Structure 1
């Protein structure tokens, strides 16, 4: 059964003070929510695997076209090619090969999974006014101080969602291993579920509501 879930939140400014109170309504389907979220996680985890391991078969190993020795009279076992898997430097039997196995998911299902994850993590989300102007010159120290003003520990796993991927914020966060900066277009369900704290700018929240709430 589909219903509109209402999330109330406070908007924080750069200094950490509450400037406004607002709410957002997102569409949730209670019956299939967990199933859809699980499917989205399986899809993302599967598609993130590289699977590039590769070995050569006996037909791909260079050389070995000549018979190593004659068939009879040498006292040694018969050999037709030095590329045989039995030989050192020969081909590999049933070795790994690159695999392309991307799982697919309907766009509406993925959007439902994203909205469900947002709803489930609503207690860990902080909405902040746009702060890109403070990172015209990237500085990690400035970002850490801002996190503390927002009552977020820099040692937690943090996800920062912006309307578009801003180089200043990304460069300021790249020295902190547990912080991920993502734009609305790059947002994934696994990022939402694996983060201890989630920071969303006001502009990014409006874009999420417009793009994914259908």
Structure 2
């Protein structure tokens, strides 16, 4: 059971929020979070890098000069890997980098990563009604009142997006906005501060504790 202070739009403490997430045992927590992080970063690789071998490079079918008598080293093709414009030895080819991880393990890693950041977690009330129109300056000021300074990398987790909040947040350099049901380990570990609404916290417990 973890308790966090809830702040309103003005940055004042207005209550407490409790949440209970099942996390990994202390001796295995680092290992499972690391596995989830490696999986996420590896699976984001496109794997489309491709080079041509000497068999695929255009040309090089004729022997450049005769085998003996010229005084030069013997050569069979101008597309040898030793030549400029030749093929590549052991170069990259398109491949699939994806790693597999069970869904239960992935969710356990997400819960563990979130609880591990409890000291940097800022719980706030719903503020959709506070932004009557898109206003980046007002959102940045609110984040500063909550304790997430503009120079900090901040992750803002909402139960659902509204257009005004999205348009206000998209231009802020160090701010990333994600919905509560699309958490990922990298963003939670990369952020300096995690700002989450009370309703998003409820949704996380509903989705990831199931």
TM-score tier by shorter-chain length is 0.7 to 0.9
Change in CA separation of 1:91 and 1:135 when aligned onto 2, cut-off 3 Å: farther
2:171 maps to 175
Q: Aligned partners of 2:163, 2:66: CA distance in 1, in Å?
A: 67
Whether the 8 Å CA contact 1:169–1:181 is kept in 2: the answer is no
The 1:22–1:76 alpha-carbon spacing in structure 2 relative to 1, beyond 3 Å, is closer
Higher deviation after alignment, 111-120 or 40-49 = 40-49
Structure 1 distance, partners of 2:65, 2:42, is: 48
State which drifts further: 100-109 or 15-24. Answer: 15-24
After TM superposition, list the pairs within 5 Å mapping 1:114-193 onto structure 2.
114-135=110-131, 137-166=133-162, 168-193=164-189
Identify which of 13, 23, 36 aligns with 1:28.
23
What is the correspondence of 1:37-48 to structure 2 with a 5 Å cutoff? 37-48=33-44
The CA distance in 1 between the partners of 2:75 and 2:52, in whole Å, is 20
Q: Which residue of the other structure, out of 5, 14, 17, is the alignment partner of 1:19?
A: 14
Secondary structure, counterpart of 1:152 in structure 2: coil
Q: Which runs of 5+ in 1 are unaligned?
A: 1-5
The Cα of 1:51 is off from its aligned counterpart by: 4.6
* Residue 68 (str. 1) matches residue 59 (str. 2): no
| Aligned match for 2:99, one of 88, 96, 103 | 103
Equivalent residue runs for 1:74-113 within 5 Å:
74=70, 76-113=72-109
The equivalent of 1:10 in structure 2 is: 5
**Quick one: distance in 2 between partners of 1:61 and 1:51?**
21
Larger strand percent = 1
CA distance in 2, matches of 1:62, 1:164: 54
RMSD: 2.5
Q: C-alpha displacement at 1:92, in angstroms?
A: 1.1
1:3 corresponds in structure 2 to: none
Q: How far apart, in 2, do the equivalents of 1:151 and 1:81 lie?
A: 66
The number of residues matched between the two structures is: 209
Query: For the residues of structure 2 that align with 1:99 and 1:171, how far apart are their CA atoms?
Result: 37
Return the TM-score normalized by structure 2: 0.85
